[in-house]
């Protein structure tokens, strides 16, 4: 199935029509949510669509589609953005998923996991019986591995920066601190200008090199208390505690200039920046939205510049 970027169906094959017990003429032109059950509409609009719009693809989503004259049918859905005849579309691949088989598959996985845990427990018991010193060594190793695993869950594997999960956690902490102590903080959102052109022209290895070099350039540009994170693709965020809007804009300008004057494998690279400060009763989505709107304005005004949200700085 295919939709335009307004999520209206533009193409659907005969197999899916048969599965949903509908005619093609009934479907074309409708918004995709018309095919979904209410819970799946909420999941699609609230989670899957934003992910698709941000990353141009999303995989292994489970949605329930209405079936005319029958119970809703669960599907596994993969979606990616494509270009066809000069226009952009969302291309959907759907696979029927029988609920019973899903449950059985999950039970099998859990049983295997329980068996693995049981075997691991027996192995550890043997080690405990063989030597108390080995127990101490294993405990130390386990603590080290847990710390490593915890670090991996909040670290971007390419750049070594905090990832989106770490960014979300830090924003939540800063909002809670702001609510208690009224200490202002600011958020900078920026992304690399025409990054797709870098990948398409010089290859993804060069694109990865650009991302890693930008991380290194900015880590020496910002303060130690500031948090630089890669939050997706070529998009980055900087959280600046105890900082007003004007100062944050100056920091963003220094970062923009550092990138602009750095030398990359593909030549010159620029980035556009949006800046926003914290407001009373903000959610993490609120402050991100304001910074992202400023970033969008910077893009519209010609890229390679800083735009801050027009507002009274917090006290």
Determine whether 234 is an active site residue: yes
Catalytic residue among 170, 234, 250, 253: 234
Tell me, letter by letter, the H, E, C secondary structure of the chain.
CEEECCCEEEECCHHHHHHHCCCHHHHCCCEHHHHECHHHHHHHHHHHHHHHHHHCEEEEEEEEEEECCEEEEEEEEEEEEEEECCEEEEEEEEEECCHHHHHHHHHHHHHHHHHHHHHHHHHHHHHHHHCHHHHHHHHHHHHHHHHHHHHHHCECCCCCCECHHHHHHHHHHHHHHHHHHCCCEEEEEEEECCHHHHHHHHCHHHHHHHHHHHHHHHHCCCCCCCEEEEEECCEEEEEEECCCHHHHHHHHHHHHHHHHHCCECCECCCEEEEEEECCCCCCHHHHHHHHHHHHHHHHHCCCCCEEECCCCCCC
Residues belonging to the active site: 234
């Amino acid at each position: 199935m295919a939709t335009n970027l307004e999520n209206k169906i533009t193409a659907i094959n005969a197999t899916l029509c048969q599965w949903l017990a509908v005619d093609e003429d009934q479907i074309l032109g409708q918004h995709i949510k018309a095919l979904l059950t209410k819970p799946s509409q909420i999941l699609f609009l609230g989670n899957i669509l934003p992910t698709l719009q941000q990353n141009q693809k999303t995989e292994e989503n489970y949605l329930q589609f209405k079936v005319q004259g029958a119970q809703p049918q669960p599907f596994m859905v993969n979606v990616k953005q494509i270009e066809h005849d000069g226009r952009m579309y969302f291309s959907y691949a759907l696979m029927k998923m029988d609920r019973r088989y899903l449950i059985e598959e999950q039970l099998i996985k859990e049983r295997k996991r329980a068996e693995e845990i049981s075997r691991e427990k027996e192995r550890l018991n043997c080690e405990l019986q063989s030597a108390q010193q080995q127990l101490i060594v294993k405990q130390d190793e386990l603590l080290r591995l847990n710390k490593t695993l915890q670090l991996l869950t909040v670290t971007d594997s390419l750049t070594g920066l905090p990832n989106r999960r770490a960014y979300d956690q830090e924003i939540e902490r800063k909002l809670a601190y702001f609510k208690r102590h009224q200490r202002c903080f600011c958020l900078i959102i920026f992304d690399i200008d025409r990054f797709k052109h870098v990948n398409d022209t010089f290859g993804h290895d060069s694109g990865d090199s650009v991302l890693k070099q930008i991380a290194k350039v900015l880590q020496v540009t910002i303060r130690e208390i500031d948090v630089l994170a890669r939050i997706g693709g070529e998009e980055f965020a900087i959280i600046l505690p105890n900082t007003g809007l004007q100062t944050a804009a100056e920091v963003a300008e220094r970062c923009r200039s550092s990138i602009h004057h750095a030398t990359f494998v593909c030549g010159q690279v620029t980035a556009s920046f949006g800046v926003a400060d914290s407001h009373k009763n903000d959610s993490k989505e609120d402050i991100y939205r304001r910074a992202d709107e400023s970033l969008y304005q910077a893009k519209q005004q010609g890229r390679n510049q800083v735009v801050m949200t027009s507002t009274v700085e917090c006290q």
